[in-house]
Structure 1
Amino acid sequence: MAGLTIEQRASLSEEEIDPAIMSKKPTAGPALHKVIMVGSGGVGKSALTLQFMYDEFVEDYEPTKADSYRKKVVLDGEEVQIDILDTAGQEDYAAIRDNYFRSGEGFLCVFSITDDESFQATQEFREQILRVKNDESIPFLLVGNKCDLSDKRKVPLSECQSRAQQWSVPYVETSAKTRENVDKVFFDLMREIRSRKTEDSKATSGRAKDRCKKRRLKCTLL
């Protein structure tokens, strides 16, 4: 840009003065997917989360508050970040639960196959989430944990599958102890979140194009 006057240089953008600046600008980081763990206390939400995060099985973990975790993973060849909010299952205040649910992009609703009461509680969790999100198609997986304890099973598989079918959501059985399907539930939910974001982005783009067309039509009407 030699030979330009100060006034001419001032009228140019940074990229026009030095194209290399374009390459120095920060690029967008990996996509972030926000997952909320919900379910009754003692069903293994924290054990699943810690197994996924650190490849460790923690049998006796009793959180007194919600814990948040973040991890970079490769999802179908793309580096992404997963943000997991592990709710304690004991939140007494509806406002706190609502805030948790409002922040989530997808939900893992966990119960223990050895505890029918925890399975029945999933109905209330589902209703609370739908009320807060006001969205029947929110990314959501029903997860039956502790499948390694099949000899102590109290919730029939057919009943679990029936509820998932009723809600039109996937059902997966996991074991935080043996690590069975632990990665699967988190990655499957991230895929659902990613798909939902893509759909929303296309819908937003389509609405923007429609508005532009309408503005152009108005301009040409004389």
Structure 2
Amino acid sequence: MYMRYAQGFLLVFSITSPSSLAELAELREQIVHMKQHEPNIPIVLVGNKADLEDDRRVTRARAFQVSQQWGNIPYYETSARRRLNVNEVFVDVCRQILRKDMSVRKDQPSRRPKRGEGRRRRDRDKERGSRCVIL
């Protein structure tokens, strides 16, 4: 259900666990199925635990190959412990979302908001708050 309304996805696996990468294939298929009418779904593939290089069981080449098979999506290696590339993956998926949003808006005819409409929308958005769901 959350996938239907999500705008972007970070698919994270552990570089120490090949099964965690394999499990993402099914999750990705669910995303693609739910978003079947949307081209260019913002997705980033993330190999976490880069600080555990000695325990690596998923090679960079294998992860990159998967990212290419999944539509040439970006691939990053991160370490939450060392804060390596954590901000970068969020920036990347946000940029993809913004690019997609801008291209959709560009294709739609522009409409000037009615007087006071923009203010009401801002107030409504504040009441709702921002949401980020991590599954």
- Using structure 1 for the length normalisation, give the TM-score: 0.48
Once the two structures are superposed, residues 1-40 of structure 1 have per-residue CA deviations (whole angstroms, 9 ceiling, x without a partner) of xxxxxxxxxxxxxxxxxxxxxxxxxxxxxxxxxxxxxxxx
Structure 1, gaps ≥5 residues long: 1-98, 209-222
Residue 180 (structure 1) aligns with: 84
Q: 2:24 aligns with which of 122, 125, 128?
A: 122
For 1:63-102, what aligned pairs fall within 5 Å after superposition? Answer: 99-102=1-4
CA RMSD of aligned residues (A): 1.4
Which segments of structure 1 move beyond 2 Å, counting only runs of 4 or more? Answer: none
Where 1:180 maps in the other structure, the secondary structure is: coil
In the alignment, residue 50 of structure 2 is paired with which amino acid?
Answer: C
Kindly indicate whether structure 1 or structure 2 has the higher relative contact order, using CA contacts under 8 Å at least 6 residues apart: 2
Once the two structures are superposed, residues 133-172 of structure 1 have per-residue CA deviations (whole angstroms, 9 ceiling, x without a partner) of 1135100000000000010001111010011011120000
Contact 1:130–1:136, Cα closer than 8 Å, also in 2 = no
Contact 1:147–1:173, Cα closer than 8 Å, also in 2 = yes
- Using structure 2 for the length normalisation, give the TM-score: 0.77
Where 1:141 maps in the other structure, the secondary structure is: strand
More strand by share: 1
In the alignment, residue 146 of structure 1 is paired with which amino acid?
Answer: K
